[in-house]
């Protein structure tokens, strides 16, 4: 979307637009191939089929080589002479940040697969790798997202440094409030919270200005940037203050953990069309306010092909989500119970929808203009 705006305004970043379109389609089909072929395990693994994977691989290879041949055949060198204090420069910087994040996730996903094939060594790439590589660069990206739109096309003389300092100070104060009242977290997490709050405050001020100026093209940008700031903020909150407990229980037993009492009341079975379900009945009591919730996780046994899946019971609320899963412990009356409390989970989804909504609003305005 950012590159398309530059293409529209300045007739530049043409090859960025083409490259990103190609990557979007190719990586979508690549993900389908990795999951459906059974190379990667996911919630869709039960539908994997090696023969289907081969078909997708052939189709994917044809699309990649055809697209690259056409692209390089028509390619002409494109030079950028953007002024440093222009909106185009910030959008170009945004492209490089996003390309880096894409490459990091792609390497983290594919490297273990290639290592396993070439050397028969199995490794897993998880949160520590992504946190170390991605998070430090998310901080400057958030600041650039807030500052970039304040500059004009081609060249800008706007003096916005006093406003930036004011917003940074406000972001630090709000972060200190969260840090003091809700719990301590790392220096890197502090930076993430400050940067995301900075973008949120900046977007809220933009909303105030929009209510006065009624500049419709700005509305889509404000909604998307506010959504991105909220997304990073709530992911940070979720990461820092989530509760995750793993334990074994028998029917009739009670487990107390972190202000919650989990009562495994009973189990029942249910026959469905293509699976048999073992359903656990759990009573969760919040010991702080005596609020009672009932969750019913399932173990599903599919017959054709014979597959075992574990279905989580989820209770969604405005401030947090409660998750409960159960799995059978072999040759035992015990069940392994996994209990999670994820704060502000629904707001992560709302933030992502806001980002998409901003893009749709931009398209609607352009359609009306044409």
User: What confidence score (pLDDT) does residue 240 get?
Assistant: 87
User: Cβ distance 319 to 309 under 8 Å?
Assistant: no
What digits encode the pLDDT tens for the residues 236-274? 999 888 999 999 999 999 999 888 999 999 999 998 888
User: What confidence score (pLDDT) does residue 313 get?
Assistant: 93
What digits encode the pLDDT tens for the residues 8-58? 777 778 888 888 888 888 888 888 777 777 777 665 555 556 666 777 788
Pick the closest to residue 200 from 177, 178, 222 (CA basis): 222
Q: Which of 191-200, 208-217, 229-238, 332-341 has the lowest mean pLDDT?
A: 208-217
pTM score of the predicted model: 0.78
Pick the closest to residue 155 from 17, 14, 10 (CA basis): 10
Q: Average pLDDT for residues 128-137, to the nearest whole number?
A: 86
Helix (H, G, I), strand (E, B) or coil at 349: helix
Rounded CA separation 88/96 (Å): 13
Assess whether the previous peptide bond of 305 is cis (omega < 30° from 0): yes
Rounded CA separation 315/295 (Å): 7
User: Cβ distance 347 to 265 under 8 Å?
Assistant: no
Please say if the pLDDT value at position 154 is more than 70. no
Residue for token pair 């630090």: 172
Q: Which alpha helices (H) appear in the chain, and where do they start and end?
A: 2-10, 14-36, 50-74, 87-119, 127-147, 161-182, 187-213, 216-241, 345-369
């Amino acid at each position: 979307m950012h590159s398309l705006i530059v293409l529209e305004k300045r007739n530049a970043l043409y090859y960025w637009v083409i490259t990103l379109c190609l990557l979007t389609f190719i990586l979508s089909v690549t993900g389908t191939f990795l999951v459906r072929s059974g190379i990667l395990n996911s919630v869709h693994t039960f539908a994997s089929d090696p023969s289907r994977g081969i078909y997708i691989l052939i189709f994917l290879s044809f699309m990649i080589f055809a697209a690259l041949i056409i692209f390089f055949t028509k390619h002409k060198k494109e030079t950028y002479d953007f002024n440093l204090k222009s909106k185009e420069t910030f959008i170009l910087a945004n492209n490089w940040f996003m390309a880096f994040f894409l490459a990091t996730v792609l390497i983290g996903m594919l490297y273990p697969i290639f290592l396993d094939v070439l050397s028969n060594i199995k490794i897993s790439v998880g949160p520590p790798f992504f946190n170390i590589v991605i998070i430090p660069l998310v901080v400057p990206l958030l600041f650039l997202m807030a500052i970039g739109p304040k500059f004009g096309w081609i060249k800008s003389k706007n003096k916005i440094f006093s406003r930036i300092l004011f917003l940074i100070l406000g972001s630090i104060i709000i972060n200190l409030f969260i840090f003091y009242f809700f719990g301590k977290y790392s220096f890197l997490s502090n930076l993430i919270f400050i940067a995301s709050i900075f973008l949120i405050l900046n977007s809220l001020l933009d909303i105030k200005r929009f209510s006065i100026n009624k500049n419709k093209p700005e509305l889509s940008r404000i909604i998307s940037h506010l959504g991105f700031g909220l997304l990073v903020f709530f992911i940070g909150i979720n990461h820092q203050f989530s509760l995750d407990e793993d334990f074994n229980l028998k029917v009739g037993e009670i487990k107390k953990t972190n202000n919650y009492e989990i009562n495994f009341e009973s189990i029942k079975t249910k026959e469905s069309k293509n699976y048999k379900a073992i359903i656990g009945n759990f009573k969760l009591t919040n010991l702080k306010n005596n609020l009672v919730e009932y969750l019913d996780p399932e173990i599903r046994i599919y017959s054709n092909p014979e597959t075992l899946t574990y279905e989580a019971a989820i209770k969604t609320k405005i401030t947090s989500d409660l998750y409960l899963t159960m799995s059978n412990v072999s040759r035992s009356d015990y069940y392994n119970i996994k209990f999670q409390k994820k704060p502000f989970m629904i707001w992560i989804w709302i933030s992502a929808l806001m980002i998409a909504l901003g893009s749709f609003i931009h398209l609607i305005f352009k359609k009306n203009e044409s």
